[in-house]
Structure 1
Amino acid sequence: MRYLKYTLLFLAGIVLFASCDKNDPIVFKAGDQSVAFLSSSLQVAEGGNELSIPVSLAGLPGGGAVSIKYDVSIEGISKPAIEGTDFEVISSKTIEFSEGYGEAEIRIRTMNNDIYEGNKMFYLVFTDIANTKPSAENMCMVTVSDDEHPLNIIIGTYDGLGISYFNGETVYTVSTKPDPDDVSKIVFTGFVPGGSNLDIYGVVDLDSKEIKIPVGQDIVKDDTNPAAINGWYGEEGDPAIPADGFITATFDDNGTITIHDWFGSKITEGVNDGLWFNIMQAGSVLTKAAAGEANINTTSEEFTIGEYKK
């Protein structure tokens, strides 16, 4: 009996040892240190603005000091931002992690000019990561945005207010940005509340302060119910805007945009072909929002597919 008892205890010990070994935690070793940019792309406006680019070193406390070096690269960039002309690096190009882990910042400052040249870009890349492991985020692309764009007055985030044919008074958010290839075009995001997941563009005439938005542009990408921007002329919403026509908007000296035609997202294929996600009546007004104060959503009502009956 005693022999059997000791044998069982011995076997139990083997099982316990095996169980503990199987559940040992993964150990982070000093050699597993890795450095990374916390953002793969960032943007800053020209004109003396500063930007901080965060860098992280994953490691163990007490792992020893680590020095990481980085530099600027414009390789493969068609419109490069030039160090010393478009921006300057105002922090050391050697990052010291005295404790072998933690976060640090690379700081740059943009320069100003009075000529519109469009947005420019450059990379920050690690050039010497000491004994650490490389990570996927080993470079950061920085865009220096040009603040002399001729359409600056109508570039930004807008509070929209208008009357929906289906839902009545509607509050929503629209944003605008310049077309990167054509300075006469403005690009709208969220142009039709409840009926936009693609950007559309308008052609701007600065002299007349007029924007013409071609109808027929795809505005909803959806496997079942794709839609295009369409509409009707004038306050009365009659006649329909032809395939080669435009929705017309104007803007004032404050950048406030007024849309003078009815417009909406018309489904172009499938069983709902010819129906609408939403229709906004003429007179919708887009007012530039103060920084951080733009409307987040449309009204609480859900937008559904509907039929327009004149």
Structure 2
Amino acid sequence: MNEVFARGPSLFTRLLIVIALSSVAMVVDTKVENISSLRTYLTSLVSPLQYIADLPGEALDWSASRFTSRQALLEENAKLTSQMTLMNEKLQRFVVLQQENENLRSLLDTPVRSDMHRMIAELMAVDNNPYSHQIVINKGAIHDVFEGQSVLDDTGIVGQIVEVGTTNSRVLLISDITHAIPVRVNRNNVRLVASGDGSLSELRLEHVAHSADLIEGDMLVSSGLGKVFPEGYPVGFIKTIVRDESKPFATVKITPSAQLDRLKYLLLLWPAEIAPEDALAPNEVFDNGEK
């Protein structure tokens, strides 16, 4: 079978023809005056074809640019999301630390008698026995903690130390049914005894005469009798008074001043004569947790 491209003049003949045509085109271009206009016309005629020929490349470049931009946006969005998550976590810790700092400041601003020294303690555990209201704090014998020592929060008396370990101690809360504390009415100095009622939100007054000068809302403070709790610290407020003449005594319920159901930071008190060296004197303040 004959090949199509094998027909016609030889390659050498074709070369001569091309050279001759090129020479004629150069001569015509230099000698004929209107040839530049024709060239411009031919260029304008061919330019749409050039645009059409460039379209696939332009489309590929546009697609690649769009894909790159979208990928960059996705990566940037993922990075910003990660940064926002980290910042939210830091913000949460900051809020917690800010609240703890406010709690510590409130605790250290608690009025203390001039002869009492103090030290901050932190809650470690809560007794899970529903019939016993006791907690464990992170101060013990190495901090000179002693049995019967008073424990407060920033609003009032919490309880007393009943067991001392080397590095921690057990506190009996004033709400425990076995606990009692001598109190007096801040308004008129009537002396009474407040006992635990088995509820973190309620105490009761023992053996209250029907004629006792008590009114709802009266503030009760420690009387200092019994030599356990120093005098003058808030214990609670009278919530209800029921005077039933068929009973020998009135029924009086108290709301504790201390927030017994949300304890975290506590204050230990020492008389000046037995206070440890690292205890804070009444006229001293903490600065970021240090003297």
TM-based fold match above 0.5: no
Which structure has more relative contact order (CA 8 Å, sep 6+)? It is: 2
Larger Rg: 2
Measured against the shorter chain, the TM-score band is under 0.3
**TM-score where L is the length of structure 1:** 0.26
- TM-score relative to the length of structure 2: 0.28
Higher strand share: 1
